Amino acid sequence: MQFPSICPEVPVVRLAPALVYYRDQLGFTVDWSDEELGLAGLSRDESRIFLSAIEYRSALGNRRPIVLWLNLPNRTEVDALYKQWADAGVSISSSPEAKPYSLYEFFARDMDGNVFRVFYDFGWEEK
């Protein structure tokens, strides 16, 4: 058995505006959406996520904000995504930088306060 990629469920207040934000600012494709259900599936390259509105997730107790760790393969890709999201008006706390715990990273927020922690783990380079 090969363990597949995990598809997180991202809690949002209202599905329709969140879908527009994820499409237009974060660059995801809306693969499907069910407003009545309060759930949508999105993708970007190899990543898949679900957005869930309050009605859908109330029984599960899934609350915002959550943190999504996005592990990129190198610093160049971290910088490229930073530029792309900054140019699109995404809320970003600071530019990418190397941290003492061997991550080159930046943090971005969606319109509902969920956090993307975009990073490259350079710890292997120091061994």
Residue 127 pLDDT grade (very low, low, confident, very high; cuts 50, 70, 90):
low
Residue 82 pLDDT grade (very low, low, confident, very high; cuts 50, 70, 90):
very high
Q: Provide the percentage of residues in the chain whose pLDDT is more than 90.
A: 81
> Which residues of the chain form CATH 3.10.180.10?
1-63, 65-127
Does residue 2 carry a pLDDT above 70? yes
Q: Is 1-63 in CATH node 3.40.140.10?
A: no
pTM of whole model > 0.95? no
Instruction: State how far the Cα of 35 lies from the Cα of 123, in Å rounded to an integer.
Output: 43
Superfamily the domain 65-127 falls into: 2,3-Dihydroxybiphenyl 1,2-Dioxygenase, domain 1 (3.10.180.10)
Judging by beta carbons within 10 Å of its beta carbon (0-12, 13-18, 19+), is residue 75 exposed, middle or buried?
middle
pLDDT per position as a tens digit, 48-60: 999 999 888 887 7
